[in-house]
Each structure stands twice: as C-alpha cells, then as structure tokens.
C-alpha cells in the first residue's frame, strides 16, 4: 500500500480519488502522525477536511493540517462564527462521505458512545451518517480500564463504524503494550476498504486461513530458490476479511509489504513449503474457509548443501538432486472437513483460462482465481490485479483490472460460505 502520491495506472483506479474524507483528530500524542496521512490522502486525489479537538490542536499544528489538506482546519471556535449560515457541525457531517477518526482518545470515545456533543468534533460525529473508521490510541492502563473497555464494546456495536483497536508496541509513555494507534498504512487500507465495500461485517463469526507470499527453498546456507511474490494480494485478502468481521490466520512466507498491513491478523511466518504445509494443516481443522494465495515453490533440493557452494560447483547443482514440492492445495482439499470452502490461486502468463479450468478440475477446490503475471497492472509487486474467478457449477467470472483490495473484496463475496445469510452492499 502506498502512502506516496504517485498516480496509479489508470487501469487500476484508486478508490479514494475524489472521495470527501473528514479527518477528525482528538487529543492523543499519536495525532503527530496525522499530517503526513492527510498529505497522503490529498496526494491520492481525495478531498480532505480536518477537524480537531482543543487537546489535539495543542498536540499537532492546525496550520500544518490546513496546508497539507489544502483547506482550512476546523477548530471549536469556528462552530461559533457569526458568519456561519448553517451550523458548522451539520455542514461537515453532511459533507463527509467517509470519516477517519484517528487517533481516538479515551475522552472522545466516552463522549461519542454517551451521545455528548460538547465539541465541534463530537457534535459532527453524532450528526454524520457517513461511515467512520475509528482508531483508538492511549496508554495501556487507560486502554485496559474497565470504563474504556465498556465504551469500546458499545462502539463496536455501532452501525457504520469500523473500530480499529490499538496495536501493541512501545508507547510515548515508555510502556510496552496495547495502545499504539493503528499504523497509517492500516488506516489508509481501512478507508479504502470502506470506500469499496462499506462497513458491513458479513464474515462475522467465521474463521479464515490465508496463505501469502513466496516460499524459499535453500540451495546452500547462502542461496535459495524463490519467486517474485510480494504477498500483497494475500495480505489484503486477509485484511479485507478481517474488516468484514472474520477472524483471520495468515500463514506467510517472506513478505515485501508494509508491516503495518499485518496488524490485527494472527500471523505464522514460515520460510519453506514444508513449513507452510505444516502450518496450514495445523490450522485447517478449525476454519470455515481457506484461501491459498501463496506462491509456493515447485521444486526443492532433496538435501540442501551444508556448506556454501563455489560459483563453479553451483553450475553442477542443476543437473540432479531435486524433488517436487508436495502440492499444498491438493493436500488441503484432500484433508478438508465437511463444509470448508477452499479458494486456490493460479498465476499465469499468456492465455491462462484453459489451464485454470484444468487446474480447478484437477485440484478439486471450490474456487480458483487465475491471475496474469505478465500484464502491466497485475501480478507480483503491482498494486492492481485482474483475472478469472472460476467456481462451482462452471461459474466463470471475469474480474476487470482493479486495486488488489477491490479484487480481495470481490473474492470474499464469492467465497462467503453458504451458512452466511447476511448480504453485503
């Protein structure tokens, strides 16, 4: 996920372009992270307005926020301007298509869930009908305090709210624990998700396992065989499911994605196909669905060399001593419990549809997403993807070029196990 402002390829539209986003900032030290996030949103083509509480205005400069959002930053005093033809909180509430409430302090959380409207920000939150992405941030003991926990529980029942609990880490108060605001990368991804899908939690109560990234098979202690998968598609699929309410376990090889994108997932990092297989088999019994987005190596050394090979000796290595890696997807299909839905991925170059049909038949999974790796806006390392989703009963759905998060949401809608009745947007 990019925070930089480089324009996306037109074939892969950015879901935040032209969206009216209200960034509401309260009095947590994490507010200092917001100006750059506001800048990233503006550079991506969103229309941004900022509103701050008096405490937030003491921690982060409203002038910086105004400059980076290309618009006045609203303060409490603006609510009482004699020039305002309509109440400012109503204007802002109606203007916003999406609200990012970050960081959310204990005080503002309490105000909101108790319906208090004693600041511009608090009255705007009560007045808006836009979806809100809310990210709490506070000292660990404050976060764990029973009244705060009760308020957070109430907030998680609100419609239109995507509540992101704090992450673990070193806090500004020198505590190590829960309390850090979700990383800006995570906030951007959540906003993009709400822009694409909304706040509906149609995967609530379901468990999903996702595999992502490449595997690495050692040749010797210095070298390995791998591929160009960054893991972004699998990570975004996992996050989209989490934001739709699922409990998600991500089994991943070495990733090249921002670490903030892993927040909120149960992660098992692995290196080799054998480790990935063991982790997936261990997780399989308890879950409703599995999505195999990992790019697993096809071959490995029967015995990796114990010592680093010379350049010359490396040349001899290719002739013999190789074995095929077990087919992880076929193994999962063979050992799945009744009712478990399995989605496989197939990377192709050239015309992959015929090969994808054959792979679906041969592997026996329910769904197969065949995606090209030789198109400019798709495949390894690209923010976008496209392809064909093949499913039960001969379904063949062509997926047009879109961001990987948009593709992830489309896959989740198709994959949603039949026991789910609640439809999405």
Ligand X SMILES: Cc1cc2nc3c(=O)[nH]c(=O)nc-3n(C[C@H](O)[C@H](O)[C@H](O)COP(=O)(O)O)c2cc1C
By CB under 6 A, name the binding residues for ligand X: 26-30, 53, 55-56, 105-108, 119, 137-138, 142
Check if the beta carbon of residue 410 is closer than 8 Å to that of residue 389: yes
- Minimum Å gap between C-beta 242 and ligand X is 24
Map 235-252 to HEC letters.
Answer: HHHHHHHHHCCCEEEEEE
User: Dihedrals φ, ψ of 8, to 5°?
Assistant: -75, 155
Rounded CA-CA distance 119/346 in Å is 52
**H or E segment to which residue 389 belongs:** strand 384-391
**H or E segment to which residue 330 belongs:** helix 328-334
Of 224, 194, 225, the closest CA to residue 97 belongs to 194
- Minimum Å gap between C-beta 139 and ligand X is 6
Query: How far is the CA of 54 from the CAs of 116, 127, 272, 385, in angstroms?
Result: 16, 19, 52, 43
Check if the beta carbon of residue 16 is closer than 8 Å to that of residue 195: yes
Catalytic residue, chosen from 50, 73, 173, 365, is 173
Residue closer to ligand X, measured from CB, 108 or 371: 108
Task: Identify whether 173 is a catalytic site residue.
Answer: yes
DSSP string, 259-319: GGGGTTSEEEE--SHHHHHHHHHHHHTT-SEEEE--B--SEEESS--SSPPPHHHHHHHTT
Residue closer to ligand X, measured from CB, 179 or 213: 179
Half-sphere exposure of 165 (CA within 13 A, CB side): 16
**Omega of the bond prior to 62 within 30 degrees of 0, cis?**
no
Q: Cα 197 from chain centroid?
A: 13
Residue closer to ligand X, measured from CB, 28 or 128: 28
Residue closer to ligand X, measured from CB, 105 or 211: 105
- Minimum Å gap between C-beta 258 and ligand X is 22
Residue closer to ligand X, measured from CB, 89 or 300: 89
Structure tokens at 165: 């609990």
103-123 core/surface letters (b: 16 or more CB in 10 A; e: else): bbbbbbbbbbbeeeeebbbbb
- Minimum Å gap between C-beta 65 and ligand X is 14
- Minimum Å gap between C-beta 110 and ligand X is 8
- Minimum Å gap between C-beta 109 and ligand X is 8
State which residue has the least CB distance to ligand X.
27
- Burial label for 87, CB within 10 Å (0-12, 13-18, 19+), is middle
Residue closer to ligand X, measured from CB, 119 or 403: 119
Residue closer to ligand X, measured from CB, 134 or 399: 134
Catalytic residues: 173
């Amino acid at each position: 996920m990019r925070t930089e402002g480089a324009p996306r390829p037109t074939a892969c539209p950015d879901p935040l372009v032209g969206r009216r986003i209200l960034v509401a900032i309260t009095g947590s030290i994490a507010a200092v992270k917001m100006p750059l996030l506001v800048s990233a949103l503006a550079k991506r083509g969103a229309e941004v307005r900022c509103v701050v509480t008096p405490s937030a205005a003491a921690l982060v400069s409203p002038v910086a926020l105004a400059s980076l959002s290309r618009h006045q930053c609203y303060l409490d005093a603006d609510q009482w301007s004699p020039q305002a033809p309509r109440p400012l909180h109503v204007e802002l509430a109606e203007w916003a298509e999406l609200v990012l409430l970050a960081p959310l302090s204990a005080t503002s959380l309490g105000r909101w869930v108790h319906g208090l409207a004693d600041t511009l920000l608090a009255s705007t939150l009560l007045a808006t009908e836009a979806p809100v992405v809310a990210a709490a941030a506070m000292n660990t003991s404050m976060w764990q305090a029973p009244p705060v926990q009760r308020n957070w529980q109430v907030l998680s029942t609100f419609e239109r709210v995507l509540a992101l609990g704090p992450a673990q880490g070193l806090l500004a108060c020198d505590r190590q624990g829960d309390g850090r605001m979700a990383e800006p990368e995570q906030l951007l991804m959540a906003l993009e998700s709400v822009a694409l899908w909304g706040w509906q939690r149609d995967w609530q109560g379901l468990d999903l396992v996702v595999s992502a990234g490449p595997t690495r098979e050692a040749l010797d202690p210095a070298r390995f065989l791998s591929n160009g998968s960054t893991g972004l598609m699998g990570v975004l699929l996992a996050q989209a499911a989490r934001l739709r309410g699922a409990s998600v376990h991500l089994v991943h090889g070495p990733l090249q994605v921002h670490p903030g994108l892993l927040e909120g997932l149960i992660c098992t990092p692995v290196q080799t196909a054998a480790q990935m297989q063991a982790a997936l088999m261990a997780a399989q019994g308890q879950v409703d669905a599995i999505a195999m987005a990992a790019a697993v190596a096809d071959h490995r050394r029967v015995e990796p060399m114990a010592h680093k090979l010379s350049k010359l000796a490396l040349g001899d290595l290719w002739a013999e001593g190789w074995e095929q890696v077990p087919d992880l997807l076929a193994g999962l299909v063979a050992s799945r419990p009744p009712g478990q839905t399995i989605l496989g991925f197939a990377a192709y170059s050239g015309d992959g549809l015929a090969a994808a049909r054959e792979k679906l038949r041969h592997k026996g999974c329910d769904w197969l997403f065949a995606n090209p790796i030789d198109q400019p806006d798709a495949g390894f390392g690209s923010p976008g993807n496209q392809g064909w989703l093949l499913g039960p009963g001969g379904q063949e759905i062509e997926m047009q070029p879109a961001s990987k998060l948009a593709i992830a949401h489309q896959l989740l809608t198709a994959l949603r196990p039949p026991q789910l009745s609640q439809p999405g947007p």
